[in-house]
Amino acid sequence: MLKNLALAFSFAKRDFKERYVGMSFGELWYLISPLIMIFIYTVIFSNFMKMKLNITDSEYAYSIYLVPGLLAWTSFSTLLNRVALIFMEKAELLKKINVPAYSFMFSILITEFVLFLISMTLGIGFLVLIDYHIDFTFLYLLPVMILQSFFAFALGVVFALFVPFFRDLKEVIPIFLQLWFWVTPIVYLKDMIYDKYPYIVDLNPAYIFIRIYQDIFLYAKTPDFTKLFTALLFTGAVLLTAAYLYKKMVPLIKDII
Amino acid sequence: MLEVKNLTKIFKIYKNNTDRLKELFFKKSYHKEFVANKDISFDLFQKETLGIIGLNGAGKSTLLKLIVQVLEPTFGKIISHGRVTALLELGTGFNQELSGYENIFLNGTLIGMSSKEIKNKIDSIIDFSELGDYIKEPILTYSSGMKMRLAFSIALFSEPKILIVDEALSVGDAHFQQKCTKALRKRKDKDMSIIYVSHDLNSLKLLCDRVMLLHKGEVVDIGEPERVINRYNFLISKINEKEQKPVLKRSENSYGNFDAEIKKVELRGDESKSNIISSGENTKIFVKIYSYKDVDNVTVGIAIRDKFAQEIFGTNTYYHHKKVDLKRDESYVCIFETKMNIGVGKYTITAALHTNENHIDNCFHWIDNALEFEIAGTVGEAFIGLCRLEPKISFEKVSKDDK
């Protein structure tokens, strides 16, 4: 087990190299796409649609609101999707070499988390650039990011185990993620839907994480500990489910990939 | 080194994948069973080469996958003492865009080497692969032979205790093949065991200490290569008999006036009881004839051709002053018995029925490639080449006076 986790680290290292070989801008691409998205949303929502936040007086208020949510979502969805497709992507290897699938899964967790850290750091860099208020509450970002990554990872594993049985899932997962993105208050404000559909917001596990980032970025607000605890609980629950299903289903999956 | 005990692998066959899942979570059974490996037990000893043969679908691949633990056995267990590395389909796990150098790390990690171990051995690996400066180029610029050389070098220097070779060595030029064989021998003499799967019977006889014959998922025989391979040949010839071409007469490589006809040509080694024989083995070639007319002074002839269609030997009853007369509506068999003193490889037999010395005047029936046979392995001293001369070799000291 330990050896295989160590393997995950070395895969992660390779993964970085593999993903960006033959590209002249290398790792920059990972950051370019969310930056462009942030730019687009800022222009559309804040300039054309005149969406303003009443709570702060900064002229960048909307961008400050948008940046953490969008970065967190990018990491969340990429991590989930990549883990979910692992048996398809590595089928050739898993058929021939005795390397447990979870080594590959963990390696994705590691790479995506590192990229998440880098992009969040750049997000904070943006705040520094516009001379916005930053204090020690920003340290809460780290544990929440870790928790979020584990949550996305665990969900990804559950999906991954079913993908070999229902190959259509490969197409369904991105659509599902797209829908999830739009029911989560990331580009729009929570208040805009809360009155009409409170359950969408309350029952959305991803929003628990995203809400915390947004509050920290905008108001430097200490996270609500009951919320954090809930997040910890359901992350744990999904992780355990994933582990149970993994043990039960992997021998079967080996027969059919 | 490796103990395999009562290994059974059953694949469950379902109508669809939903049924497969349903069975996992509910008690009801939805499947049909397919037994790929049935109750297989054997030990692989240290420094031993074990060959595995069997017809297609005999369960060889499944067994190998179970040994490298890519598949999980349904029953039974495998205990291995030390690293098992498979040379199955070389180069899986190479990243096309990374350089050869990077790929050594990638592939090495996959087969279980630590990065420290790889760093220590990387120079030897590059050296052995003979890739030189190409090692810095991305893999996609490599030829298949170069990829194979790199993959083999990595596998070799990972110093497995058990190496699984699956027909992989057939890629690569003769020079590198020899180098591989030599390197494998050296590692084997130290402490490595090899499992070798091949359809090349000659190399099996040369390399293996023991051979195991699989048939329909079961071990039919395991032991001395010569014996087991003969048994395999027997299995093949039984299958060939079932689908024997019924009429030779109208096939495209036969002609003649068909006053008499060659019904069938057969070849059988005394030991192997099939058409795959060892060089030097006593062999009988049967030419079965049916005559439609009364004809006297007939000649029955055969010629053996190698894979380049070069005639390497031919003879007939005329040369041997054997008188052959055929009566109307009678069957005959003409038997050529000889020690097959020719080199390893595949051959065909051409048979002919005519009068006098050759088939130019009056040819009843002539068939090209009436039969294929193979020479694999050698009885007695090994030799190279096509033709087995039988030299007596003496060696003595020459006294100074004679100089």
pLDDT at site B89: 58
Chain A residue closest in CA terms to B61: A96
Our CA-based measurement puts residue B118 at a distance from the nearest CA of chain A, in whole angstroms, of 13
Between A and B, how many CB-CB pairs are < 8 A?
A: 67
Q: What is the pLDDT of residues A164-218, one digit of tens each?
A: 888 889 999 999 999 999 999 988 888 888 888 888 888 899 999 999 999 999 8
Contacts of A166 in chain B (CB under 8 A): 17-18
Smallest CA–CA distance, residue B62 to chain A, in Å, is: 10
Give me the residue from A10, A18, A165 closest to B115, CB to CB: A10
Domain B2-232 has CATH 3.40.50.720: no
CA distance B241 to B243: 5
H-helix or E-strand spanning residue A4: helix A2-20
HSE-up (13 A, CA, CB side) for residue A135: 9
Q: What is the pLDDT of residues B251-288, one digit of tens each?
A: 667 788 888 888 888 899 888 888 888 898 999 999 99
Which of B295, B289, B293, B257 lies closest to B370 in space, CA to CA? Answer: B289
Give contacts of A101 with chain B, Cβ < 8 Å.
Answer: none
Question: Tell me, what's the pLDDT at B71?
Answer: 86
B-chain CB neighbours of A11 within 8 Å are 109
pLDDT tops 50 at residue A77: yes
Chain A positions with Cβ closer than 8 Å to B: 7, 10-11, 14, 17-18, 21-22, 92-99, 162, 164-166, 248-249, 251-252, 254-256
Taking the C-alpha atoms of residue A170 and residue A232, their distance in angstroms, rounded to an integer, is 28
The CA-based angle B176-B387-B173, given to 5 degrees, is 10
Rounded CA-CA distance B329/B338 in Å is 29
B291-336 pLDDT, tens per residue?
998 888 899 999 999 888 788 899 999 889 888 888 988 999 999 9
Question: Where in the sequence is the domain holding A227, given as residue range(s)?
Answer: 2-256
Residue of B18, B70, B98 with shortest CB distance to A17:
B98
**Paired tokens of A77:** 């969805």
Partner A, chain B 124-153, Cβ-Cβ below 8 Å: 138
pLDDT at position A241 is 96
**CATH topology of B2-232 equal to that of B254-378?**
no
pLDDT of residue A86: 92
How many percent of chain A have pLDDT more than 70? 89
Q: Residue B75: how many CB atoms within 10 A of its CB? A: 13
Name chain A contacts of B70, Cβ cutoff 8 Å: 94-98, 254
Q: Using an 8 Å Cβ cutoff, are B380 and B280 in contact?
A: yes
Q: Which two tokens mark B326?
A: 């055929």
**CA distance, residue B135 to nearest chain A CA (Å):** 16
pLDDT at B403: 54
The alpha carbon of residue A109 is apart from the nearest alpha carbon of chain B, in Å, by 18
Q: Do B68 and A98 touch (CB under 8 A)?
A: yes
pLDDT score for A18: 66
Please list every residue in chain A whose beta carbon sits closer than 8 Å to the beta carbon of residue B21: 162, 165
What is this structure's pTM?
A: 0.74
Element (H, E) at A225: helix A225-256
Tens of pLDDT along chain B (403 residues)? 788 888 888 888 877 777 777 777 776 777 778 888 888 888 888 888 899 988 888 888 888 888 888 888 888 888 888 888 877 556 667 877 778 888 888 888 888 788 888 889 899 989 888 888 888 888 888 888 888 888 888 888 888 888 888 765 666 677 887 888 888 888 888 888 889 888 878 778 878 889 999 988 888 889 888 888 888 888 877 776 665 554 454 566 778 888 888 888 889 988 888 888 889 899 999 999 999 988 888 999 999 998 887 888 999 998 898 888 889 889 999 999 999 999 888 898 989 998 877 767 788 888 888 888 888 888 888 888 888 888 899 998 888 776 5
Domain count, chain A: 1
Please tell me what DSSP assigns to residue B295: B
Q: Does pLDDT of A23 surpass 70? A: no
- Among residues A154, A161, A77, which one has the least CA distance to residue A115? A77
Q: Give the residue from B34, B35, B70 with the most A CB atoms within 10 Å of its CB, the best one to mutate.
A: B70
| A248 neighbourhood in chain B, CB within 8 Å | 24
Interface of B with A in 4-23 (CB under 8 A): 11-12, 17-18, 20-21
| Per-residue model confidence (pLDDT) at position B247 | 47
- Cβ contact, residue pair B71, A255, below 8 Å: yes
On the question of pLDDT at A30 being above 80, the answer is no
Question: At the fourth CATH level, which superfamily is domain B254-378?
Answer: abc- transporter (atp binding component) like domain (2.70.50.60)
What is the spatial distance between Cα B128 and Cα A66, in angstroms, rounded to a whole number?
56
CB contact under 8 A, B89 and A256: no
Phi, psi dihedral angles at B258 (to 5 degrees): 60, 35
Give pLDDT, residue B263.
87
Q: Is the pLDDT of residue A120 over 70?
A: yes
Of A92 and B374, the one with more pLDDT: B374
Query: Which of the residues B37, B109, B114 would you substitute to probe the A interface, choosing the one with the greatest number of A C-beta atoms within 10 Å?
Result: B109
Task: Choose among A18, A93, A254: nearest Cβ to B71.
Answer: A254
Chain A residues with beta carbon closer than 8 angstroms to that of B106: 14, 18
Distance CA B14, CA B10 (A): 13
Predicted pLDDT at B244? 53
**Closest by Cβ to B70, choosing from A14, A96, A248:** A96
Task: Evaluate if residue A11 carries a pLDDT over 90.
Answer: no
pLDDT digits (tens, 9 = 90+) for B18-49: 777 777 777 677 777 888 888 888 888 888 88
Q: Which two tokens stand for residue B204?
A: 């099996």
Long-range CB contact pairs, B22-31, < 8 A, 24+: B24/A248, B24/A249, B24/A252
pLDDT digits (tens, 9 = 90+) for A138-172: 999 999 999 999 999 999 999 999 998 888 899 99
In Å, what is the CA distance from A47 to each residue of A42, A50, A57, B254, B346? 7, 5, 16, 88, 81
Residue A56 banded pLDDT, cuts 50, 70, 90: low
Cα dihedral A21/A95/A109/B105 (nearest 10): -40
pLDDT at B246 (0 to 100): 47
Mark yes or no for CB contact B86/A97 under 8 Å.
yes
Instruction: Give me the residue from B12, B72, B92 closest to A96, CB to CB.
Output: B92
Contacts of B33 (CB under 8 A, 6+ apart): B10, B11, B12, B13
User: Residue A109: pLDDT above 90?
Assistant: yes
Cβ–Cβ of A18/B97 closer than 8 Å?
yes
The predicted model gives A5-29 an average pLDDT of 70
